[in-house]
Chain A
Amino acid sequence: MSEDLSPYSKHRFLILIASSILISFVLVVISMALYNSSGAAQLDLSRPGYVSVRSKAVTNDSDFENYSSTGSINQKVISEFKVLYTKQATKTKAADAFGGDPLNFASLGLELTTEQ
């Protein structure tokens, strides 16, 4: 049997472990970068700090009917769709999302008043 003369042969197992750790580290860095840049992080309410609102997230939107993309078109179908659309549109527009002024310096108590 010929002996392997490669300088790495004695440490093959260590090299395997080290390279596995290195590859997994690189993959974790890439996936974390994707997680943050794609906007998934902003939608992830399982992160620490979001416990209080986690239960308030809408997980079942079954009342938002999936309209059929096939079938005939007639006056009745159009009227039915219009009713469905108006109902959902009204619901969606009801909340004044990101409105108000919570980041205003006055709201945060960081604005000087005339008394100060």
Chain B
Amino acid sequence: MSKKLLVVCFVLACGLGSIPLAKAFAQDTTLSDQQITLIKDNCVSSRNTLNQLHVSDALLRVNMGQAYESMTTKLMDRFNSRISYNSLSNSDLVAVSKDYVSALDEFRLDYITYEAQLSSALKIDCEKQPADFYDAISVAYKGRNLVHDDVLKLNQYIDKYQLALDKFEKDYQVIGEGAKK
């Protein structure tokens, strides 16, 4: 029994111990000495750039988030309600609005993730841990691209709502002409 326990402990210790080793090896293979030197040399300037980006992105998030939020709360939802209030069909408009709200939620979540990634990159001392700094920037880079994709998606839904609006107008005109006849 005690032998089995010892074996299990040994396997666990080997497994856990190999994680940081694998990480270290992975970092060694990723960056060449030249790259490490370059990161150390440009450490201060790249950190300054990242700091500025961190601040300007926060402002962008506040202003764009507000604009995207207003599109749904001040226009889409209210127009959809007005159509329902008049007992007209607005299924297409409601469907696009729902998708838009989902995309907006995704944008919020992805931004939270990206901000956390960029913050953790900024906490790393690039002179002492250049490889970690490089990896953290790679992760934040992907996170920012995701946020950008979300913005593009939101813009697409804004266009889709416009198309649904045109369709609603056409349908309304058809109903109006039918009523006249």
Contacts and interface: CB of A to CB of B under 8 A. Distances in A.
Contacts of A84: 75
Given A105-B137, A108-B49, A109-B46, A73 B172 contact: yes
A2 B165 CA distance: 82
A102 B61 contact: no
Residue of A50, A92, A99, A116 with highest tally of chain B CB at under 10 A: A92
* Secondary structure type dominating chain A contacts: loop
Interface in B50-99: 50-51, 53-68, 70-71, 74-75, 77-79, 81-83, 85-86, 88
Given A92-B158, A102-B53, A42 B83 contact: no
A107 B112 CA distance: 23
B47 to A, nearest CB: 9
Nearest to B63: A58
A39 B112 contact: yes
Given A45-B58, A103-B137, A98 B144 contact: yes
Contacts of A6: none
Given A66-B78, A103-B141, A52 B64 contact: no
B176 interface: yes
Interface string A58-92: 10010011111111110101110110111011011
B71 A99 contact: no
B59 A85 contact: no
Interface in A29-73: 37, 39, 42-43, 45, 49-50, 52-53, 56-58, 61, 64-73
A73 B63 contact: no
A-B pairs, 5 with minimum CB distance: A69-B81, A53-B59, A98-B148, A103-B141, A69-B78
9 contacts: A42-B112, A58-B66, A93-B158, A102-B53, A103-B144, A108-B137, A110-B39, A111-B38, A116-B34
